[in-house]
């Protein structure tokens, strides 16, 4: 099977949603909120995609300054293509786009938590998240 990897290739909102659904990541993403999904695709500044022919089978979607921090927001691989090294290759290509001091940062999906340590990531327990509707400073 020949997989082609592309950097910042055009990906439609529909292709992205379909990949999220077929990767099971759609369970934790707002796939029914089209405006949000369009914003996710249109405002990412580093997207590495994996293609089997004309089919999108994987994506690493990131926001980065390319020098200090790269947040890998979505790493999705179609379930029929998982366990073939595609996710790892997407991360390798993403990392190769970054400057020599730039860290790759991500939040693991619960089912994938053990995967990242296996490929070299270190666990950092200091991540904090606040929902948009939660005012800062309230208890």
Q: Which tokens is 44 given?
A: 């990412």
Q: Which tokens is 48 given?
A: 């590495």
Rounded-to-integer distance, Cα 133 and Cα 3, Å: 40
For the entire predicted model, the pTM comes to 0.89
| Nearest Cα to Cα of residue 99 among 69, 66, 71 | 66
Residue ranges and CATH numbers for the domains of the chain are: 4-118 (3.40.630.30)
Contacting residues for 12 by C-beta, under 8 A, at least 6 apart: 41
* pLDDT tens per residue across span 73-109: 999 999 999 999 999 999 999 999 999 999 999 887 7
CA atoms within 13 A on the CB side of 4: 9
* pLDDT tens per residue across span 34-50: 999 999 999 999 999 99
Instruction: Tell me the chain's radius of gyration from C-alpha atoms.
Output: 15
């Amino acid at each position: 099977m020949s997989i082609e990897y592309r950097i910042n290739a055009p990906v439609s909102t529909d292709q992205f949603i379909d990949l999220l659904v077929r990767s099971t990541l759609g369970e934790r993403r707002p796939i029914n909120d089209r405006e949000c999904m369009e914003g996710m695709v249109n405002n990412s500044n580093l997207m590495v995609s994996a293609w089997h022919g004309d089919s999108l089978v994987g994506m690493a979607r990131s926001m980065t300054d390319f020098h200090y921090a790269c947040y890998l927001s979505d790493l999705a691989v179609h379930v029929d293509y998982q366990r073939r090294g595609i996710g790892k290759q997407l991360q390798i290509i993403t990392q190769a786009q970054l400057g020599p001091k730039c860290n790759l940062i991500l939040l693991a999906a619960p089912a994938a938590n053990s995967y990242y340590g296996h490929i070299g990531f270190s666990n950092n327990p200091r991540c904090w998240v606040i929902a948009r509707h939660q005012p800062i400073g309230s208890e």
